[in-house]
């Protein structure tokens, strides 16, 4: 866990025990620091690096930890630092790449509080929450819910009913969102900038709602993944730029690379249907069938419009699988 000199939440932003009906300090002991190391040849190393640091939260009394997937993806080592300073090894036991959540099992018996799962669908805009990092109140933020909305990520990611909170947690990755009942209702994934009501940029935390975990939790524990066909994957990064969907990167050895998609290409249509938003791109891609299905993209490049037919792939097959250490 980082030392006190590394970072602290400013005192005015820290939660106060008197503001909550549950035992705040006890609840915060369920949040752990998580560090991981991926090999240099990992598929995700180029974008995520090999050394990753964040948080996770204990959700059962047997040492099961919920965190954001990018912290543990392809990791060959995972270490959990508990509230009392103990450091124990962990092992990634399940990934849901659609939601971006991951389960990590502590490999040493630990006896420490855990958080019950609450309901994210019952949360209201402006409702107070705690965004909790490992290290108690001094590394946690008293926040509120700003909005609930869909979020499309450039890396072929889309989550409906994501929660946005403010003020932001300075070290957000994998931190826990705790409701007024002391229950876990989300996992922090990103920091975003968007225009506030006054037109000025506002920093927000993107929270993955806990309700997306519940339908797949048993599958993740039994099989390591949800029991559903994998989504088709192109292996490209895309963004909305001046009202157009533009390719901003192409992964090595991906279907997009084999089809000669290039940075700067505009994607006008998917299977003949025009695109308006990045979310349209991903939804129409995934609607073409399971991984391995073919999809036709209409591309505009250097004043020329043409169609490209691509056989999609399975993202998971590109990743190194977790191993015990």
Compute the distance between CA of residue 149 and CA of residue 75 in angstroms, rounded to an integer.
31
Q: What is the mean pLDDT of residues 151-176?
A: 96
Question: Is 271 inside a domain boundary?
Answer: yes
Indicate the pTM of the whole model: 0.94
**For residues 118 and 179, is the Cβ–Cβ distance under 8 A?**
yes
Residues 98 and 165 both lie in one domain: no
Question: Is 4 inside a domain boundary?
Answer: no
Residues 261 and 190 both lie in one domain: no
Neighbour count for residue 115 (Cβ, 10 Å): 25
Residue 101's SS3 state is: strand
Report pLDDT digits (tens) over 179-229. Answer: 999 999 999 999 999 877 777 889 999 999 999 999 999 999 999 999 999
Compute the distance between CA of residue 99 and CA of residue 208 in angstroms, rounded to an integer.
7
Residues 144 and 100 both lie in one domain: no
Q: Is the pLDDT of residue 323 over 90?
A: no
Question: Is 148 inside a domain boundary?
Answer: yes
Quick one: tokens of 241?
């730029």
Q: What is the mean pLDDT of residues 48-60?
A: 97
- Which residues are paired to 310 by β-bridges? 295
Residues 30 and 108 both lie in one domain: yes
Question: What's the CATH number where 294 sits?
Answer: 2.30.42.10
Residues 40 and 75 both lie in one domain: yes
Neighbour count for residue 1 (Cβ, 10 Å): 21
Question: What's the domain count of the chain?
Answer: 3
Q: What is the mean pLDDT of residues 153-162?
A: 96
Residues 175 and 245 both lie in one domain: no
| Average pLDDT taken over every residue of the chain | 95
Question: What's the CATH number where 65 sits?
Answer: 2.40.10.10
Q: What is the pLDDT of residue 4?
A: 44
Which helix (H) or strand (E) covers residue 36, if one does? strand 31-37
Question: Is 14 inside a domain boundary?
Answer: no
Q: What is the pLDDT of residue 324?
A: 63
The winner for highest mean pLDDT among 4-8, 241-245, 320-324 is: 241-245
Residues 32 and 52 both lie in one domain: yes
Compute the distance between CA of residue 225 and CA of residue 318 in angstroms, rounded to an integer.
15
Q: What is the pLDDT of residue 325?
A: 55
Residues 35 and 81 both lie in one domain: yes
Neighbour count for residue 222 (Cβ, 10 Å): 11
Question: Is 10 inside a domain boundary?
Answer: no
Report pLDDT digits (tens) over 81-93. Answer: 999 999 999 999 9
DSSP 323: -
Question: Is 300 inside a domain boundary?
Answer: yes
Instruction: For residue 302, give its domain range.
Output: 236-318
**For residues 163 and 119, is the Cβ–Cβ distance under 8 A?**
no
Question: Is 13 inside a domain boundary?
Answer: no
Residues 98 and 164 both lie in one domain: no
Residues 130 and 90 both lie in one domain: no
- Which residues are paired to 104 by β-bridges? 65, 92
* Last-in-domain residue among 212, 247, 276: 212
Question: Is 2 inside a domain boundary?
Answer: no
Residues 241 and 313 both lie in one domain: yes
């Amino acid at each position: 866990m980082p030392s006190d000199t590394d970072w602290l939440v400013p005192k005015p932003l820290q939660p106060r025990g008197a503001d909550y009906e549950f035992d705040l300090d006890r609840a915060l002991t369920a949040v752990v620091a998580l560090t991981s190391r991926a090999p240099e040849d990992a598929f995700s190393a180029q974008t995520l690096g090999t050394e990753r640091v964040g948080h996770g939260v204990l959700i059962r009394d047997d040492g099961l930890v919920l965190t954001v997937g990018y912290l543990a993806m392809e990791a060959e080592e995972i270490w959990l630092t508990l509230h009392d300073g103990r450091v124990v090894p962990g092992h990634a036991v399940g990934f849901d790449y659609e939601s971006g959540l991951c389960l990590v099992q502590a490999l040493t018996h630990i006896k420490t509080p855990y958080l019950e799962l609450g309901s994210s669908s019952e949360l209201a805009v402006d409702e107070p929450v705690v965004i909790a990092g490992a290290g108690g109140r001094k590394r946690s933020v008293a926040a509120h819910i700003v909005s609930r909305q869909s979020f499309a990520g450039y890396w072929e990611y889309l989550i409906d009913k994501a929660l946005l909170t403010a003020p932001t947690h300075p070290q957000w990755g994998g931190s826990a969102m705790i409701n007024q009942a002391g229950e876990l209702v989300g996992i922090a994934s990103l920091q975003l900038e968007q225009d506030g009501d006054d037109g000025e940029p506002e920093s927000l935390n993107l929270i993955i709602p806990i309700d997306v975990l519940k339908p797949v939790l048993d599958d993740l524990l039994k099989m390591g993944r949800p029991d559903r066909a994998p989504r088709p994957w192109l292996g490209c990064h895309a963004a909305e730029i001046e009202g157009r969907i533009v390719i901003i990167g192409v992964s090595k050895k991906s279907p997009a690379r084999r089809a000669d998609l290039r940075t700067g290409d505009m994607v006008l249509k998917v299977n003949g249907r025009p695109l308006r938003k990045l979310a349209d791109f991903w939804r129409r891609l995934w609607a073409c069938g399971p991984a391995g299905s073919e999809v036709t993209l209409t591309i505009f490049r250097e004043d020329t419009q043409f169609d490209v037919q691509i056989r999609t792939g399975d993202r998971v097959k590109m990743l190194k699988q977790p191993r015990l250490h």
